[in-house]
Amino acid sequence: MLFFVVCVNCNNSHETVGKKQLFDLNWKFSYGESKFASEIDFSDHGWQNIDLPHDWSTEADFSIQKPSASGEIVGWYRKHFNIPENWIEKDVIIEFEGIGKGAEIFINGLQITESIGKSNSFQLNLKSYLNYEEENVIAIKVSQSKEEFESRDIKNGIFNHVWLIVK
């Protein structure tokens, strides 16, 4: 599976088209509201390096998080990635197998979803949002109410695998 992840960052891979590829490695994570975290040029260098799946309620320091002004607990995920030229004109689908409700997804600074509404699996076509000549950034804001966040019955964050599918 590592081979497929590496190919996402290759510029000349022909074998990746038409395949489902794991997109779990090399994400960044930070707790708390961040007004500009969705922007492509936002600096996430000080953020925690993680691989998915990631359930932030299982981390030791999750209990110290304070709700935002809206009363929610917020976590941000970011991933930088390149798209090979041979993917131009192809559908590039991102598939989430499990993400916390309240997720908002941004590609290259553009919001492509509103709040998801429940923990679920879904797909999004990224084709019209991707840059094939420069680095792309996906940013995901996951927010939960304080009660949901503290519940051990509800998973928080991107708690299952993420895939890229190229058609």
Domain boundary assignment for the chain = 2-11+21-166
Q: Give the closest residue to 154 by CA, choosing from 94, 80, 101.
A: 101
Looking at per-residue pLDDT, the higher value among 100 and 83 belongs to 83
| Residues with Cβ within 8 Å of residue 9, at least 6 apart in sequence | 81, 82
CA distance 11 to 110: 24
Q: Residue 144 class from Cβ within 10 Å (0-12 exposed, 13-18 middle, 19+ buried)?
A: buried
pLDDT digits 0-9 by tens, 129-158: 999 999 999 999 988 776 665 655 667 789
CATH classification for the domain delimited by 2-11+21-166, as one of 2.40.70.10, 3.40.50.300, 2.60.120.260, 3.40.50.720: 2.60.120.260
Burial 29-47 (b: 16+ CB within 10 A, else e): bbbebbeebbebebebeeb
Q: Give the closest residue to 24 by CA, choosing from 48, 51, 50.
A: 51
pTM as predicted? 0.82
pLDDT digits 0-9 by tens, 92-122: 999 999 998 778 999 999 999 876 665 578 8
Identify the pLDDT of residue 125.
95
